[in-house]
Copies of this chain bind each other. A is one copy, B any other.
Amino acid sequence: MPVLFAPAASDFHAQHSPFGAFASFTVGRHGQTGGFGLELGAPAKQDVYVALVRGNDSDDRNTVRALPFYTGAQNGGAEAYTGAATTKNAPVLWNAYAPDEIKREMGFATDSWTTNGGLTFRLLTPFGAVPDPLTKSDDALRAALCPAILAEVTLDNTAHEGDAWAFFGVADADPLRPLSDVPGANLCGMARETCWGFATFAADDVQESQDWNLQEKVAGASVTVPQTVQRLANRGGLLLHVPPGESKTFTVALGFYRGGVVTSGVSASYLYSRLFTGLEDVLAYALKNADATKRIATERDAELDAAPLNESRRFLLAHATHSYHASTMLLHDETGDLVLSPRESCHRPLWVVNEGEYRMMNTFDLTVDQAFWELKYHPWTLRNTLDLFCARYRYYDEAQDATDPSRPRFLGGISFTHDMGVANAFSPHGYSSYERPNLDDCFSYMTAEQLLNWCLTAALYGITTGDRYWLGLRHDILVACLHSLLHRDGPDGMRNGIISLDSSRCENGQEITTYDSLDASLGQSRSNAYIAVKTWATYLALGRCFHLLGHDEAAALSEEQAALAAQAIASHFDAKEGYLPAVFEGDNPGNASRIVPAIEGLAFPYLLGDRDAVSETGPFGELISLLKTHLATVLQKGVCIDTESGGVKMSSTSTNTWMSKIFLSQFVAESVLGVRLADSVDDAHAKWQTQGAARNFAFTDQVTSDDGTDLGSRYYPRGVTAVLWLRPR
């Protein structure tokens, strides 16, 4: 069964999204707005109405009970809402269900609310393997890329003698439009301009309702008097009739559409706009194919239900999955200036995962972590992103001594930008929207880490999919990456496998890591334990690629560097305290920090199938053993287990933590190092998302480890690192 929430844990926002439309129907938080959002970094601002209207035996007036998804409903059943102040009639009560009257359940591809009054509201967001658009006809792509989701509204009126209605609608800032206005479409529903809308097919038991005093009109539902349709009004929905003694389920499609060029820098439009003529086409298609869609949602739910995961983990993965899809954006390069590879010379799909609230595009720190998800469902998106990094977002620098940038520079090499732009604006060739010179913390360059990320992602894609053709195409880049890594290690003869130099792009600043807002433990990139282990993993990954390409010399050099790195990392181990210092510099303030991400890099050789490399009895046995000891040291209460919540902290010296990175480290701890964390740890993590302030923003990555206060990375896609939990041991 899907995860069932206790009443206190059911009051949180989740995103409900199709694939690749950068769109979300956000709902779940009580008394707060949400609804349909296109390209937003936060929930939209609509009241959402899901209600049950029943004729009342003792009274002429209908009784209205509603899910608490609208402003004013936050106090549950006790709160009355009277609609707009201009109503002429006596106030009409809409009573919101109290938390203990609602059963919320979330599955991998569903989210549902069952009330004690006979009303059930269920959102279906099926997903699955998405075909490479280059391999399918447009017609075959429609099913995977239709920018719509489904809602099921069920009303059980079998035990009642009066008519009843279910209602689904929204209140927005601007006028809605009734979809029955569209000639020949046979739709019944509401839309906001050409951007989003919801509909059923027209039927006798369905009618549109649109009025400023919508709640009052709905409360007056009747089998004889039709609902008002006031086209100027900003509130509207579908009134769904169920006669006495019957139970019905209505299927409503929720669709999104944005046509035309939507990005700058590279002029691109949504790929779906090639497949669908507009919102009405999307909604009709979604309704026609509802049965197949529902089957897929059921299969996905069953898949997660069958996984050997505790309930909190099932929830965290499902919740993260919902938010990941909301940030995905499958575009189509219209200008033709992005011919990324010979294979893509005709259609030019352009894949973007937006960075949640920040809206940065294809942030590489996310790509590398989301790779685990994409490899499972649509590996071609990884290839697309890696190619775009090569074509437009690579650069060449020199290396410099960060402790004294005035010294003569060293050879540098290739690297890649932190991201590809922000807010639909692709940044210029070779530049991200994030990085700037002369800084030593946030917004500085991540040259070394992004170089590692390209190599690791490329290896994951090329090796696990077996796409040797692509590895061959990228042979020159892989070689350039190896040399760039060597140069950053240090001048010839002074190398130890650990990156010690910074990019000249920093000017008078220093390189940072993706943990840009944690503390000194993960601040600087050079001589950093987390980066060092990831570098070791990168050399191993490069070695694997070069072997496959028959480039023995480069493979040998890579492996030699991996061995040097392992040796150097081990040499910094603090045997007395049983941990690897976060920064390998004696006087660095981050030195004393115990950090979880020191083990993160172990994921890569493991996932690339190199079990020897991560075995205590393998060639790097010493390193693995020390990291296992390190893990045991840090996974203590008061070190990296928060004393208050019991959840995981990235660093012993900060309460600032990232959920997606915890999930990844949990995977490494369990699958690679054989250390199982207590279920209570997962429960703490789930509680941050459902009961911490993070619940206001759907999946939130960066929270405080004490109570789940949102610190950043809200509405965020990266939680799908949890998909690693599904891997068979």
Question: CB of A423 within 8 A of chain B?
Answer: yes
CB contact list, A157-205 vs B, under 8 A: 174-175, 177, 181-183, 191, 193-194
Complex contact A230–B443 (CB within 8 A): yes
CB contact list, A230-254 vs B, under 8 A: 230-232
Complex contact A428–B181 (CB within 8 A): yes
Task: Please report the C-alpha to C-alpha distance between residue A260 and residue B270 in the assembled complex, in whole angstroms.
Answer: 12
Complex contact A264–B177 (CB within 8 A): yes
Task: Please report the C-alpha to C-alpha distance between residue A182 and residue B436 in the assembled complex, in whole angstroms.
Answer: 18
Task: Please report the C-alpha to C-alpha distance between residue A358 and residue B228 in the assembled complex, in whole angstroms.
Answer: 19
Question: CB of A15 within 8 A of chain B?
Answer: no
Question: Which residue of the partner chain B has the closest CB to A433?
Answer: B231
Question: Which residue of the partner chain B has the closest CB to A422?
Answer: B175
CB contact list, A270-288 vs B, under 8 A: 278-279
Known contacts A175-B433, A177-B422, then 11 further A-B pairs from the complex at CB < 8 Å, ordered by chain A residue: A175-B359, A177-B425, A181-B265, A182-B265, A193-B423, A194-B264, A230-B443, A231-B421, A231-B432, A232-B358, A264-B279
Complex contact B232–A261 (CB within 8 A): no
In the assembled complex, which residues on chain B have CB atoms less than 8 Å from the CB atom of A229?
436
Question: CB of A222 within 8 A of chain B?
Answer: no
Residue from B181, B232, B423, B434 in contact with A177 in the complex, judged by beta carbons closer than 8 Å: B423
Question: CB of A262 within 8 A of chain B?
Answer: yes
In the assembled complex, which residues on chain B have CB atoms less than 8 Å from the CB atom of A230?
436, 443
Task: Please report the C-alpha to C-alpha distance between residue A269 and residue B259 in the assembled complex, in whole angstroms.
Answer: 11
Complex contact B422–A232 (CB within 8 A): yes
Instruction: Give 30 CB contacts A-B under 8 Å.
Output: A174-B359, A174-B423, A175-B422, A175-B423, A177-B264, A177-B265, A177-B425, A181-B427, A182-B265, A183-B428, A183-B429, A193-B262, A193-B424, A194-B262, A194-B263, A194-B264, A228-B436, A230-B443, A231-B422, A231-B432, A231-B433, A232-B358, A232-B422, A232-B434, A258-B260, A259-B260, A259-B261, A260-B260, A261-B278, A267-B278
Question: Which residue of the partner chain B has the closest CB to A41?
Answer: B174
Q: Mask for A117-131, Cβ within 8 A of B = 1, else 0? A: 000000000000000
In the assembled complex, which residues on chain B have CB atoms less than 8 Å from the CB atom of A359?
174-175
Task: Please report the C-alpha to C-alpha distance between residue A264 and residue B263 in the assembled complex, in whole angstroms.
Answer: 22
Question: CB of A360 within 8 A of chain B?
Answer: yes
Complex contact A424–B267 (CB within 8 A): no
Q: Mask for A348-376, Cβ within 8 A of B = 1, else 0? A: 00000000001110000000000000000
Complex contact B424–A194 (CB within 8 A): yes
**Shortest distance in angstroms between A525's beta carbon and chain B's nearest beta carbon?**
20
Complex contact B194–A261 (CB within 8 A): yes
Task: Please report the C-alpha to C-alpha distance between residue A228 and residue B422 in the assembled complex, in whole angstroms.
Answer: 17
Complex contact A232–B360 (CB within 8 A): yes
Task: Please report the C-alpha to C-alpha distance between residue A299 and residue B360 in the assembled complex, in whole angstroms.
Answer: 46
**Shortest distance in angstroms between A410's beta carbon and chain B's nearest beta carbon?**
27
Given contacts A259-B261, A261-B259, A433-B175, contact A425 B232 (CB under 8 A): no
Complex contact B425–A193 (CB within 8 A): yes
Task: Please report the C-alpha to C-alpha distance between residue A477 and residue B549 in the assembled complex, in whole angstroms.
Answer: 78
Which 4 A-B pairs give the minimum distances between C-beta atoms?
A: A260-B260, A231-B433, A177-B425, A259-B260
Question: Which residue of the partner chain B has the closest CB to A436?
Answer: B230
Question: Which residue of the partner chain B has the closest CB to A435?
Answer: B231
Task: Please report the C-alpha to C-alpha distance between residue A425 and residue B230 in the assembled complex, in whole angstroms.
Answer: 13
Question: Which residue of the partner chain B has the closest CB to A183?
Answer: B428
In the assembled complex, which residues on chain B have CB atoms less than 8 Å from the CB atom of A433?
175, 231-232
In the assembled complex, which residues on chain B have CB atoms less than 8 Å from the CB atom of A41?
174
**Shortest distance in angstroms between A310's beta carbon and chain B's nearest beta carbon?**
38
**Shortest distance in angstroms between A356's beta carbon and chain B's nearest beta carbon?**
13
**Shortest distance in angstroms between A85's beta carbon and chain B's nearest beta carbon?**
16
In the assembled complex, which residues on chain B have CB atoms less than 8 Å from the CB atom of A423?
174-175, 177, 193
Task: Please report the C-alpha to C-alpha distance between residue A143 and residue B11 in the assembled complex, in whole angstroms.
Answer: 55
Question: Which residue of the partner chain B has the closest CB to A260?
Answer: B260
Task: Please report the C-alpha to C-alpha distance between residue A260 and residue B277 in the assembled complex, in whole angstroms.
Answer: 11
In the assembled complex, which residues on chain B have CB atoms less than 8 Å from the CB atom of A360?
232
**Shortest distance in angstroms between A361's beta carbon and chain B's nearest beta carbon?**
11
Task: Please report the C-alpha to C-alpha distance between residue A427 and residue B176 in the assembled complex, in whole angstroms.
Answer: 11
**Shortest distance in angstroms between A283's beta carbon and chain B's nearest beta carbon?**
12
Task: Please report the C-alpha to C-alpha distance between residue A231 and residue B264 in the assembled complex, in whole angstroms.
Answer: 13
Residue from B183, B269, B425, B443 in contact with A175 in the complex, judged by beta carbons closer than 8 Å: B425
In the assembled complex, which residues on chain B have CB atoms less than 8 Å from the CB atom of A269?
260
Question: Which residue of the partner chain B has the closest CB to A265?
Answer: B181
In the assembled complex, which residues on chain B have CB atoms less than 8 Å from the CB atom of A425?
175, 177, 181, 191, 193, 231
Task: Please report the C-alpha to C-alpha distance between residue A428 and residue B187 in the assembled complex, in whole angstroms.
Answer: 14
Interface centre among A181, A182, A359 (most CB of B within 10 A): A181
**Shortest distance in angstroms between A323's beta carbon and chain B's nearest beta carbon?**
19
Residue from B181, B193, B424, B427 in contact with A231 in the complex, judged by beta carbons closer than 8 Å: B427
Task: Please report the C-alpha to C-alpha distance between residue A432 and residue B436 in the assembled complex, in whole angstroms.
Answer: 54
Complex contact B264–A261 (CB within 8 A): no
In the assembled complex, which residues on chain B have CB atoms less than 8 Å from the CB atom of A181?
265, 425, 427-428
**Shortest distance in angstroms between A190's beta carbon and chain B's nearest beta carbon?**
11
Task: Please report the C-alpha to C-alpha distance between residue A260 and residue B193 in the assembled complex, in whole angstroms.
Answer: 13
In the assembled complex, which residues on chain B have CB atoms less than 8 Å from the CB atom of A232?
358, 360, 422, 433-434, 443
Task: Please report the C-alpha to C-alpha distance between residue A279 and residue B267 in the assembled complex, in whole angstroms.
Answer: 12
In the assembled complex, which residues on chain B have CB atoms less than 8 Å from the CB atom of A260?
258-261, 269
Interface centre among A193, A229, A262, A269 (most CB of B within 10 A): A193
Task: Please report the C-alpha to C-alpha distance between residue A181 and residue B430 in the assembled complex, in whole angstroms.
Answer: 11
In the assembled complex, which residues on chain B have CB atoms less than 8 Å from the CB atom of A428?
181, 183
Question: Which residue of the partner chain B has the closest CB to A423?
Answer: B175
Task: Please report the C-alpha to C-alpha distance between residue A265 and residue B191 in the assembled complex, in whole angstroms.
Answer: 12
In the assembled complex, which residues on chain B have CB atoms less than 8 Å from the CB atom of A177?
264-265, 422-423, 425
**Shortest distance in angstroms between A606's beta carbon and chain B's nearest beta carbon?**
35
In the assembled complex, which residues on chain B have CB atoms less than 8 Å from the CB atom of A264?
177, 182, 191, 193-194, 278-279
**Shortest distance in angstroms between A292's beta carbon and chain B's nearest beta carbon?**
28
In the assembled complex, which residues on chain B have CB atoms less than 8 Å from the CB atom of A429?
183
Task: Please report the C-alpha to C-alpha distance between residue A355 and residue B359 in the assembled complex, in whole angstroms.
Answer: 34
**Shortest distance in angstroms between A230's beta carbon and chain B's nearest beta carbon?**
6
Task: Please report the C-alpha to C-alpha distance between residue A423 and residue B41 in the assembled complex, in whole angstroms.
Answer: 24
Question: Which residue of the partner chain B has the closest CB to A234?
Answer: B423
In the assembled complex, which residues on chain B have CB atoms less than 8 Å from the CB atom of A265?
177, 181-182
Question: Which residue of the partner chain B has the closest CB to A194?
Answer: B264
In the assembled complex, which residues on chain B have CB atoms less than 8 Å from the CB atom of A279?
264
In the assembled complex, which residues on chain B have CB atoms less than 8 Å from the CB atom of A427?
181, 231
Task: Please report the C-alpha to C-alpha distance between residue A360 and residue B425 in the assembled complex, in whole angstroms.
Answer: 32
Question: Which residue of the partner chain B has the closest CB to A179?
Answer: B264
In the assembled complex, which residues on chain B have CB atoms less than 8 Å from the CB atom of A421?
231
Task: Please report the C-alpha to C-alpha distance between residue A428 and residue B228 in the assembled complex, in whole angstroms.
Answer: 16
Task: Please report the C-alpha to C-alpha distance between residue A193 and residue B177 in the assembled complex, in whole angstroms.
Answer: 26
Interface centre among A183, A428, A434 (most CB of B within 10 A): A428
Question: Which residue of the partner chain B has the closest CB to A267?
Answer: B278
